[in-house]
Structure 1
Amino acid sequence: MIAVRCYADPVSPYAWLGLRDLDRIEAAGAHIVMVPVLFAGLLSAHANIGPAEVEAKRRYLFRDVMREAARRGLPFAGPPGHPFNPLTALRMCTAVNEDAARRRLLVAFTCATWERGENLMDDATLVRLADEAGQDGTALLAAARTPTIKQALADATAQAAAEGVFGVPTFRIGDDAALFWGADRIDALLWRLQGNGIDEAVLREFVGRAPLAQRKR
């Protein structure tokens, strides 16, 4: 069974939609390895800003997310405010060692905020949700405050950025160089899992071409 790494942060509504499709990936014969990462850290690593930080994109983003949720029959409530700080939630997920349990917790956190409007910046809420996901929420909250777990999340985010991950959700099949970014790329991921692919030599040649114009910054 091939491993598919899923890089995710509950702050992203597209991560929510992507996590709702994990069963489709597993049905294709893959094993999900959940990698909690801090989306804000990825943005900083690539000198980027989030879509919610651009007003026109923000208006589009939430209309698009609500439209897709309605199309899938998913409830949408949204967090109490957005963006919010997901650090403690991510650190609690990082403190879970077993893949399936880490996945359940991150999915639980993400669905709770986007489908039921839970506040992931509230410690009591995090503990309750972790308990409901079969974990010891109090112990995970304590672990999330340790230097070891804080550094582990920072390291995972830095490693993801070094591998080319710039947004969430992002999926990677085994050690394949190809990344699949976004909740709308699940079908492309499944296509790749079936053994399909592009001509990598053509890609390398094309991206190696010098630009013909540059935008002033």
Structure 2
Amino acid sequence: MRDITFYLDFVSPYAWLAFAQLPAQLEGISCHVRYRPVLLGALLKQHANPGPAGIPPKRAWTYRHAEWLGHAQGTTLQMPQRHPFNPLPLLRLALECSEDGCINRFTADALFRHVWEGGGDALGAERIAALRERLAAQLRTDAQAAERAKGLLRTNTEEAAAAGVFGVPTVSVDGHTFFGVDGLPMLRDYLQGGDWFTQGRWEAAASVEQGLQA
């Protein structure tokens, strides 16, 4: 059985699209998926990357593209009332459902649907209260739960950065990272022993000499 880590942040529409597509891409493959929330903003900052929302024309394109992709793949996706937003409250809420930094698919699904279905305010107090109620059976209730969630998020993000994760969605397996919705078919090919991977192309493709000098 293959051990797969899916890095996510609920602020990313592409993370939601990839999350929805993942079961189909893994069909017939024996694996265990760990869903690990990380803070996308911290990963972007590490590489001085403003992200799509930091470039106005790209922001508009990203939202159009994400909604079209959702339509094309049959996944409900409606931009929330405000975006980007600070995802920390949602990430920490998710990790109040965790002891080790991973969350189960039910928890991830509830958080993603909270953001990407209905076009509501992702940080609206009443909506978050309803979300917390939905997750009640998953939530840790000890006095340290909130602080533990903060620590888990920091650790997840630091470990993801150390593993070469620069954005979400990213899937990691066997030391290989696959980025984006469009990386999922490549992931499936790798897991099925695709010949491109057995020919040394993974390493060779990344060893091309840099043509621009800093």
Q: How many residues align?
A: 211
**Residue in 2 aligned with 1:43?**
44
Corresponding residue SS for 1:129:
helix
* 2: CA distance, partners of 1:172 / 1:49: 23
Corresponding residue SS for 1:116:
coil
TM-aligned CA deviation for residue 31 of structure 1 = 1.5
CA deviation map 1:9-29 (0-9, x unaligned): 110010110111132245332
Corresponding residue SS for 1:180:
strand
* 1: CA distance, partners of 2:143 / 2:21: 28
2:90–2:111 contact (8 Å) kept in structure 1: yes
**Residue in 2 aligned with 1:113?**
115
Change (3 A) 1:184 1:202: closer
Matching of residues 5-16 of structure 1 within 5 Å: 5-16=5-16
TM-aligned CA deviation for residue 128 of structure 1 = 1.7
Gaps of 5+ in 2: none
**Residue in 2 aligned with 1:212?**
211
**Residue in 2 aligned with 1:74?**
75
Change (3 A) 1:133 1:183: farther
* 2: CA distance, partners of 1:83 / 1:141: 31
Moved more, 195-204 or 90-99: 195-204
Specify the code of the residue in structure 2 equivalent to 1:151. Answer: G
Higher helix share: 1
CA deviation map 1:55-75 (0-9, x unaligned): 121121111111111112333
The TM-score with structure 2 as length reference comes to 0.85
Moved more, 116-125 or 149-158: 116-125
**Residue in 2 aligned with 1:129?**
131
The TM-score with structure 1 as length reference comes to 0.84
Change (3 A) 1:84 1:29: same
Give identity over the alignment, percent.
Answer: 32
Moved more, 103-112 or 157-166: 103-112
Gaps of 5+ in 1: none
**Residue in 1 aligned with 2:106?**
104
TM-aligned CA deviation for residue 132 of structure 1 = 2.3
The alignment's C-alpha RMSD in Å is: 2.7
1:7–1:171 contact (8 Å) kept in structure 2: yes
Matching of residues 18-33 of structure 1 within 5 Å: 18-27=18-27, 28-33=29-34
**Residue in 2 aligned with 1:60?**
61
Specify the code of the residue in structure 2 equivalent to 1:44. Answer: K
1:126–1:137 contact (8 Å) kept in structure 2: no
Corresponding residue SS for 2:197:
coil
1:131–1:137 contact (8 Å) kept in structure 2: no
